[in-house]
Amino acid sequence: MPFAEARSTLFKQAVTCWPRRPTPFRDGISVSPNDPSPSEFEVKLYRWTAGGTLNRPFLVVILRQADKGTEVRVSEGDYSCNLAGTCKPLGLSQHVDRWLSADLSCPPIDTSSW
């Protein structure tokens, strides 16, 4: 996929599908898109708590213009960990692959604690 099309698709889908406002019962997701250069685009996702705290990003997507299309790098960590040390990834990296393959669906995201 050409860089401009990949950038437009990722931006539109990320700001449409991923943001979640926190509630007293669930943490939210803050989406932070950025254009560090004309040939690079990145999206970072942060866990957004009811107290307004944004932790370090748990998902980073970087698109770079390449000679033949677009280079895509996705790094996803855990969204949250409970007191027992069990951690929970959200599996959002698979959304990027689907979106860039023309499946523009927005699957449900469970940000509830357990």
Please tell me the total number of residues recorded for the chain in this structure: 114
Task: Answer whether residue 70 is part of any domain.
Answer: yes
Task: Answer whether residue 9 is part of any domain.
Answer: yes
Task: Answer whether residue 110 is part of any domain.
Answer: no
Task: Answer whether residue 33 is part of any domain.
Answer: yes
Per-residue pLDDT of the chain (114 residues; tens, 9 = 90+): 999 999 999 999 999 999 988 888 788 899 999 999 999 999 999 988 777 767 789 999 999 999 989 999 999 988 877 777 778 889 999 999 999 999 999 998 887 765
The pair of structure tokens assigned to 32 is: 């932070």
Helices (H) and strands (E) in the chain, counts: 2, 6
Instruction: Report the distance separating Cα 99 and Cα 78, nearest Å.
Output: 21
Give 38's strand partners: none
Other C-beta atoms lying within 10 Å of the C-beta of residue 46: 19
pTM of the model: 0.88
Strands 87-88 and 80-81: antiparallel
Domain count of the fold of the chain:
1
Task: Answer whether residue 114 is part of any domain.
Answer: no
**Range(s) of the domain holding residue 31:** 3-99
